[in-house]
Chains A and B, each alone.
Chain A
Amino acid sequence: MKTHADTDTTLQSESPVMEKEMKRDPVAALSETSNTNGDQPMVRFAGVTKRYGALTVLDELDLDIAPNEKVAIIGPSGSGKSTLLRVLMTLDPLTSGLIEVDGEPLTHMRKNGALVPASLAHLRRVRSKIGMVFQSFNLFPHMTALANTIEAPMQVLGLSRKEATERARELLSLVGLADKCNHYPSQLSGGQQQRVAIARALAMRPKVMLFDEVTSALDPELCGEVLNVIRRLGEEHNLTMLMVTHQMGFAREFADRVCFFSQGKIIEQGPPQQFFTSPQHERTQQFLRAVREAV
């Protein structure tokens, strides 16, 4: 399955063996062509600060995320969790600090040994490795589920309609919506829309997937179908995942690491077994207590 991406992206397959693998696994991002070796982080936040006027939302944040790691980010509202994802997705600019994706700086680039603000081409190239799913789905209402999923691969990656449609159908059946390809978002339930949103993001073959409170806008009985898709994605494919979530149960059983955010800083982080059973910090304990009481 030959694809012709932007000349700069590194998702091209040269060997026939890799091609076959790609045919089997629509989500596969090829580690062969990535810039990271085993021990370099896939995403690195270094001294990241985001201020809105006098309000500091992210405060000198340092965070490394390893390839294929699943990180859950929890914390009270206003703590900066969503902002973390938004600056990574370049939806909001940084006030200061550096973000690296797959070994390359995101909003800056190296020129003659120094770091300068990134050109648009550089930004788009590095950004192409990240995909995002939003709390309010943000599906394009004037397009069917299929059209939503083929739009970016055709416009940005330059896939032909046939190739993009093939890829889209595979992804839509992966998320369990093969029969809803020609439905418009207005005809789908919230859970179905969110699953289409996941398929749409995956169609761009990102290496990092960001999930910004993806179940918060759903009725409780619809959360399960979305979480199941995310769980399967994590288990069956090589994806680095960053999830801002209120679903403590899901974070506990699915995440490799849980980070607790408060007032723009990471207060505590660790593997879920340790994090949920014996939190170290006062603030973390407070938060977890309040969450448990609410259930």
Chain B
Amino acid sequence: MRELFPLLLQGTLVTIEIAALGTLLAIAMAFIATAAKLAPWAPVRWVGNVYVEVFRGTSLLVQLFWFFFVLPLPPFRIELTPFTVAIVGLGLHYGAYGSEILRGALRSVPGGQFEAAVALNMSAFSRMRRIILPQAMINALPPATNLMIELLKGTSLVSLITLSDLTFRARQLDEATFKTAEIFCLTLVIYFVLAQLLVTLMRHFERRVSHGIIAHSSRQITQKAAS
């Protein structure tokens, strides 16, 4: 069993790398898509809607294959490394879902916040940046955590476009050593551990960011009152 570790670990690092970069792109795409869908110009809105519908409506593997097999050929002739395909595919796919989460989060901010900002004569930009968006982001954290776990699981598909992630290494090891049961069970455990780490990290982050918003315990209030 020991000899399995180094290669699996290598694969895990690649998985983490792809997941992290994919997440960054997904976050960026979520913002861009949501901004596009709320833009005052109809063609921009249309592009945003099409992007979200297409990337949510087709499966991740189809998208990865499309970028991997179709793009290098005419008429596109765009050669992307498997690594780039993975990041782009994951980012675009989960970014579409992310924009739905962001949309829901923006709507979850109470209307009174918007009105208070207008009453204080804040500009639309200040209002969004200082009041609405911070509150929306906090509301978006729980569903965003779930989406990040989906993304982590989705990284396993990049093994099918020849990327040496954890899943790829597992298959490699399996074909080399035939210790199939151990390898795949170990792989499952590694993914599970990664997912739990992610959840713990996000919950910690959530707590730190919303420390003022959630009502503190009465003990804390009396302590502060006494000070």
Contacts and interface: CB of A to CB of B under 8 A. Distances in A.
Direct contact of A and B (CB under 8 A): yes
Interface of A: 89-91, 124, 127-128, 130-132, 134, 136-144, 151-152, 155-156, 183-184, 186-187, 197, 200-201, 204
B138 to A, nearest CB: 7
Given A186-B212, A186-B215, A201 B119 contact: yes
Contact of B112 (A138, A144, A183): A138
A156 B216 contact: no
Contacts of A200: 120
Q: Which of A132, A134, A142, A152: most chain B CB closer than 10 A?
A: A142
A143 B135 CA distance: 10
Contact of A155 (B115, B126, B134): B126
B214 interface: yes
A38 to B, nearest CB: 27
B213 A141 contact: yes
Q: Which 8 A-B pairs have the closest CB atoms?
A: A138-B116, A152-B120, A184-B212, A138-B112, A132-B119, A186-B215, A155-B126, A141-B213
Contacts of A91: 115, 118-119
Given A138-B113, A155-B130, A144 B212 contact: yes
Q: Which of A89, A141, A156, A197: most chain B CB closer than 10 A?
A: A141
B120 A204 contact: yes
A200 B117 CA distance: 11
B204 interface: no
A141 B138 CA distance: 11
Contacts of A138: 110, 112-113, 115-116
Interface in B196-225: 210, 212-216, 220-221, 224
A133 B42 CA distance: 36
Interface in B118-160: 118-123, 126, 130-131, 134-135, 138
Contact of B121 (A124, A140, A141, A142): A124
Interface residues of B, number: 26
17 contacts: A89-B115, A89-B119, A124-B121, A137-B112, A138-B113, A138-B115, A139-B116, A140-B116, A142-B134, A151-B122, A152-B122, A156-B122, A156-B123, A184-B212, A184-B213, A186-B216, A200-B120
Given A124-B123, A156-B123, 6 more contacts: A138-B113, A138-B115, A142-B135, A156-B126, A187-B221, A201-B119
Contacts of B224: 183, 187
Contact of B214 (A127, A139, A186): A186
A15 B135 CA distance: 42
Interface of B: 110, 112-113, 115-116, 118-123, 126, 130-131, 134-135, 138, 210, 212-216, 220-221, 224
Contacts of A132: 119
Interface of B is mostly: helix
Nearest to A86: B115
A204 B112 CA distance: 18
Given A139-B116, A140-B113, A156 B121 contact: yes
A200 B121 CA distance: 12
A132 B120 CA distance: 8
A260 to B, nearest CB: 26
Contacts of B221: 187
A152 B123 CA distance: 10
A139 B213 CA distance: 11
A132 B220 CA distance: 31
A107 to B, nearest CB: 13
A186 B210 CA distance: 11
Q: Which of B116, B123, B224: most chain A CB closer than 10 A?
A: B116
B213 A201 contact: no
A197 B116 CA distance: 9
